[in-house]
Amino acid sequence: MRYVYSAILYLLLPLVVARFVWRSIREPAYRQRLGERLGWYSADLPGAAGPVLWVHAVSLGEVQAAVVLVRALLGRYPNHQLVVTTSTPAGSHQVRQLFGDQVIHVYVPWDLPGACRRFLARFQPRVLLLLETELWPNLITLSTWQGCRCLLVNARLSARSARRYACVPAFTSQVMQQLWHVCCQTSQDAERFARGGVLPAKLSVGGSLKYEASFDASLQQHAQRLRAEHALGERPVLLAASTHEGEEALLLQAFAQLRRQFPDLLLVLAPRRPERFAAVAGLCMAHGLDGTRRTSHCAVAAAHQVLLVDTLGELAAFFGLAHVAFIGGSLVPHGGHNPLEAALWSVPVISGPHVHNFADVYARLRAARAALEVTTAEQLALAVSELLTDDAARLARGRAGCLTVEENRGALSATMALLEQTLRN
């Protein structure tokens, strides 16, 4: 079955390249370093200094979850070389910005046998730590054949994904059985992986690495600089984070209602995908809103209603400015994004109903009354209004969210213990 899968991928390769070129019209980074996608690397790429530990985090969200893990690996294994791969330019940018030359960073090869073999021959990893749901048949199989032990950590498998995998049960089971171990976020995830073919002895539940995020002095200073730069004072701030197409229109409808009650309310709008920054700016203008873009380096004025965050890597600091945070990908059926950065800043969370990618996290936050669910622009406006008019309730919800983060730590120690055991055996 894997050979059929590989043949189909090779047939589709021209379309994949064409898609990358098409996306690069709006985001040029997609046509850069295409050779890395096929396992071909620049001659000036540094060689591995010591045994290689390989971490793969597909995009920006996974990279953010992996930050604490990468830092722990750098501290615990100074004699090993850390190779970090991503799939998206946003993830690549974040890795380079955070870690520089502390790690070797390249794009993960496409799941073609030749590309994977070239990557493995170049780096010869001892252990691969895949984050969340990155199940690539050739990558996992060929890594295992070369002697690289594949760990799926911070693993999650939604009911929807499990149903898709169940359509090809023999192939799914064959791939999953190649994994050395799967450390799941929840017991429900473990049950789904077990049904997919992972043996019980290879399964454990360690929690989510997203709970391991913590403040550092630089993040707090960054938030303080932003607040001072934009002279926000006591001005109320609604942060709409990681929004997707279709959500901004609903947000702007809610914002129009809210401004009648809170005329000085500032909307900080952070679209998820960089290629949509210009379109979202145009949408704000079409709604008659005056504002500024982060890349303009123009401070928010009293007359501005919107600050568009059109940069990468700053969102965590912007949560430090917010009184209320809406987390995107949830009013449209995308699956939601991580709400824990808001909770860490003691900011109450609002989301839509589509949060299946973070179902357990949202369930915990809602049980603690730290997160609210809405389905319409009117409900969103009402929820924000209630939070902004009742400071005591807003602060209590925020503290409950922060406490929820603290109470659910432990995934990092579980992952590091698993890696240590893997390296010993």
* Fold equal for 2-207+410-424 and 217-407: yes
Confidence band for 218, pLDDT divided at 50, 70 and 90 = confident
* Distance (Å, whole) CA 425 – CA 142: 20
Domain 2-207+410-424 has CATH 3.40.50.720: no
38 contacts 108 by C-beta, under 8 angstroms = no
Tens digits of per-residue pLDDT, 62-111?
898 899 999 999 999 999 999 999 999 989 999 999 999 999 999 999 99
Confidence band for 422, pLDDT divided at 50, 70 and 90 = very high
Task: Give the pTM.
Answer: 0.86
Q: What is the pLDDT of residue 45?
A: 85
Q: What is the pLDDT of residue 425?
A: 83
Q: 212, 313, 303: which is closest to 263 by C-alpha? A: 303
62 is catalytic: yes
Half-sphere exposure of 202 (CA within 13 A, CB side): 20
Lowest-pLDDT choice from 27-31, 34-38, 219-223, 266-270: 27-31
395 contacts 346 by C-beta, under 8 angstroms = yes
The domain limits of the chain are 2-207+410-424, 217-407
Selecting among 36, 62, 134, 247, the annotated active-site residue is 62
Phi, psi torsion values for 230, nearest 5 degrees: -100, 5
Domain 217-407, CATH homologous superfamily name and number:
Glycogen Phosphorylase B; (3.40.50.2000)
Confidence band for 216, pLDDT divided at 50, 70 and 90 = confident
Q: What is the pLDDT of residue 236?
A: 98
* Distance (Å, whole) CA 18 – CA 20: 5
Tell me the angle at which helices 247-261 and 277-286 cross, rounded to the nearest 10 degrees: 40
Lowest-pLDDT choice from 44-48, 178-182, 224-228: 44-48
* Distance (Å, whole) CA 247 – CA 345: 24
